Amino acid sequence: MGNRGMEELIPLVNKLQDAFSSIGQSCHLDLPQIAVVGGQSAGKSSVLENFVGRDFLPRGSGIVTRRPLILQLIFSKTEYAEFLHCKSKKFTDFDEVRQEIEAETDRVTGTNKGISPVPINLRVYSPHVLNLTLIDLPGITKVPVGDQPQDIEYQIKDMILQFISRESSLILAVTPANMDLANSDALKMAKEVDPQGLRTIGVITKLDLMDEGTDARDVLENKLLPLRRGYIGVVNRSQKDIDGKKDIRAALAAERKFFLSHPAYRHMADRMGTPHLQKVLNQVGWAPFPVEKGPFLRLSTLRCGKRGIFLPQPRRRGPGGALAHP
C-alpha cells in the first residue's frame, strides 16, 4: 500500500476514533494506531511535543498522563488545535491546550491522580507536522501517590495492554539511554504482546545524559534486544531547557548537531533524530497491518450498541486499488 493510500486512510480512522469516543462506547474494532508507551521519566511527552513543535502537554511529578490522549496530527497551512469534547473552539494558544487537557482529565478522574481509560481526542493542525495519529498512554509507575489505589501499577499496565495487544497497533516503546535496556518496562510490555518484535519500534531518549565514556551504539545498531523495525535515538530538551522556554526548533537543530558530531553516532546520524522518527512513522506506521483485514475498509455502516456510525465510502482507486470495496 503506497503512502498516498495511507494518507487517505488516516482521516477515515480519525473519524472512527472520534465517533466511538463521542458515544462513550468501545466497539473493539482493530483500528490501525501508534501506541506510545514508556515509564514516567522516559521522555515520552518531549518526543510528542517535538513532533508538534509546541509545548502543549501537562508536566509535573507523578503520573501526568492519566487518560489516553488520541493525538491526531494533520498537515495544514494554519496552526491550531481542537478537542472533540469542545469542537466549536479553536485553540491557537498551546498553553491553553495544556490547561484544557488538565481540566478535562480532572473532570473525569478527579484531582488526586486517578486514571481513566476514557480517551481525550485532540487534533493539531500545523504546517510543521506530518499526518500521524498517536495514542499517548499513561506512564508506567510503581508507587501510588495521592489517593491512588495500591494496585495503580497493574491498572496502568492493564490499560496499556488493552491498546498494544491489538494486532493493528504499532508500539512506540520509549526507553531512556541511561537505563539498562533489559529493565525497560516499555520493551517488556511490548515483548509480552509482540514477542518477535514485528510491530515495535524502540525509541531511545536521553542519549546526551549517558555517563562519560559510554554510549548506546549497540542498542541503536539493533544488536542487544533486536526488533524487526529497530531503534531510533532522539535527544529531547532538558528540564533546564524547558524551564528556560528553549524553542523546540532550536532543540531539533541541537539534536541534529549532537548526532553529527558524536563519534559513536555520526555514521548513523541520518537514521537518528526526531524528524527521521516522524518520517518512519508516517511511511511505515501502517505497513504491518494487512489492509484487507481492516473491517472499516469494507463497511460503510458500522454498528455499535444501539447506535449506527455512518461513514463515507472510501474512494475507488481502480483495479487492484487498496481502497476499493469488494
Q: Does residue 268 fall inside a structural domain? A: yes
Judged on CB neighbours under 10 Å (0-12, 13-18, 19+), 241 is middle
Q: Which domain holds residue 48?
A: 33-288
Residue identified by cell 559510554 is: 214
pLDDT for 61: 66
Tell me the residue type at 103: A
Q: Does residue 296 fall inside a structural domain? A: no
How do beta strands 80-83 and 33-38 pair?
A: unpaired
pLDDT for 203: 98
pLDDT for 311: 37
Q: Does residue 100 fall inside a structural domain? A: yes
Handedness of CA 23, 26, 32, 36 (dihedral sign): positive
Q: Does residue 70 fall inside a structural domain? A: yes
Q: Does residue 8 fall inside a structural domain? A: no
Nearest to 38 by CA among 252, 205, 152, 170: 205
Residue identified by cell 526548533 is: 249
pLDDT for 21: 55
Q: Per residue in 4-30, is it b (16+ CB within 10 Å) or e — as a string? A: eebebbbebbbebbbbbbeeeeeeebe
pLDDT for 300: 36
Chunked mean pLDDT (size 10), the chain, 326 residues = 50 61 53 87 92 90 83 95 92 96 90 85 94 92 78 92 92 95 95 95 96 95 95 92 86 96 97 96 62 37 38 38 34
pLDDT for 149: 79
Pair 174, 137: CB distance under 8 Å = no
Pair 82, 123: CB distance under 8 Å = yes
CATH code of the domain in which 202 resides: 3.40.50.300
Q: Does residue 12 fall inside a structural domain? A: no
| 175: its cell numbers | 526507553
Q: Does residue 106 fall inside a structural domain? A: yes
pLDDT for 307: 39
CA 27/CA 8 separation, integer angstroms: 22
In the chain, how many domains are there? Answer: 1
pLDDT for 92: 97
Q: Does residue 113 fall inside a structural domain? A: yes
